[in-house]
């Protein structure tokens, strides 16, 4: 990828150019980021965003789950929140403040220790709070935005905002932002006192997840959202697609709504397999599945 994005001198040694995004996604595929930046904190993030020209695209990533980066990579700037924006604190008997870079599994564990719930479902979300907020991620019957009181965001001019939950249109696996070019940097969440909560509750859900999903293999989590009144996995399996392979990728034998990179898949393999599954289910069942995974970048 040709390097075209100018970086101010103060960040010249802090950015990486042509950084392979296969190192930062759970599918372990993806071409290079033109400019890759991992801020130390919100203040550095704000200063960096101020320095980015207005016409340069900016993409935020967390743990890289629920994300397929095409083989041609991502032009512009990629900002990673992994290892940063990771504050997690209790504000009151029932409220907590969480940074966008905090892994959802950590939210589950800490809230259980604090005797707050229901928060165990966060253990089933394989990403960070930032990604969970962006798509209203959920697991085990719980959803992220059911617990949101307010969010903290940052815009591409580096300005921070505090927004109420009512400013967002939230539905199943979809969140409509009130402003363009604004990203989550944290949220205040509300739970209930649950003195009987115990870490074994999280462990039980994690064991359930391991028993039913291909944990440990390279995947993005669920590929498709569930259509109303049904499950994507059931439709895919009933269409005879379990184990179907294309290049280095296949539909999981353990859970049909997971697609696995067996180690040598390209992003093209994965995207082609997603399209094949969608088209086959539409032909067999008359239902068009909607991808839950976000597909970005240059083919």
Report, as residue numbers or ranges, the catalytic residues: 173, 222, 292
Phi and psi of 224, rounded to 5°? -120, 150
Whether residue 66 contacts residue 72, with contact meaning beta carbons closer than 8 Å, is answered with no
The label of the residue with tokens 């709504």 reads 257
Half-sphere exposure of 187 (CA within 13 A, CB side): 28
DSSP 23-70: GSSTT----EEEEEE--SSHHHHHHHHHHS-TTS-EEEESS-TTEEE-
Whether residue 38 contacts residue 265, with contact meaning beta carbons closer than 8 Å, is answered with no
Radius of gyration, CA atoms only, the chain = 19
Here the contacts of 102-108 (C-beta below 8 Å, separation 24 or greater) are 102/128, 102/129, 103/63, 103/127, 103/128, 104/128, 104/129, 104/132, 104/137, 107/189, 108/202
Output the six-digit token pair for 88. 């997690």
Output the six-digit token pair for 245. 């392979």
Beta strands 74-80 and 32-37 are parallel
The label of the residue with tokens 């010249």 reads 12
């Amino acid at each position: 990828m040709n390097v075209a994005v100018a970086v101010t001198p103060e960040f010249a040694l802090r950015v990486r150019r042509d950084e392979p995004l296969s190192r930062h996604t759970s599918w372990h595929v993806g071409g290079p980021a033109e400019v890759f930046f991992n801020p130390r904190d919100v203040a550095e993030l704000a200063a960096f965003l101020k320095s980015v020209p207005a016409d340069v695209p900016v993409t935020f990533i967390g743990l890289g789950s629920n994300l397929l980066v095409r083989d041609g990579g991502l032009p512009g700037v990629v900002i990673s929140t992994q290892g940063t924006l990771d504050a997690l604190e209790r504000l009151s008997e029932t409220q907590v403040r969480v940074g966008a870079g905090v892994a959802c599994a950590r939210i589950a564990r800490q809230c259980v220790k604090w005797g707050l719930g229901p928060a165990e479902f966060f253990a089933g979300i394989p990403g960070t709070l930032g990604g969970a907020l962006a798509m209203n991620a959920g697991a085990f019957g719980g959803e992220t935005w059911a617990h949101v009181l307010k969010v903290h965001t940052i815009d591409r001019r580096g300005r921070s905002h505090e927004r109420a939950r009512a400013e967002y249109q939230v539905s199943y696996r979809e969140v409509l932002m009130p402003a363009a070019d604004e990203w989550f940097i944290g949220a205040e969440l509300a739970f209930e006192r649950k003195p009987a909560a115990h870490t074994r509750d999280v462990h039980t859900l994690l064991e359930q997840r391991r028993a039913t999903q291909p944990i440990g293999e390279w995947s993005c989590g669920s590929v498709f959202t569930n259509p109303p009144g049904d499950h994507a996995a059931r439709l895919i399996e009933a269409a005879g697609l379990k184990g179907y392979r294309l290049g280095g990728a296949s539909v999981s034998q353990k859970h049909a709504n997971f697609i696995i990179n067996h180690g040598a898949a390209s992003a093209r393999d994965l995207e082609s397999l997603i399209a094949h599954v969608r088209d086959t289910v539409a032909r067999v069942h008359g239902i068009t599945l909607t991808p839950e995974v976000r597909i970005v970048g240059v083919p």
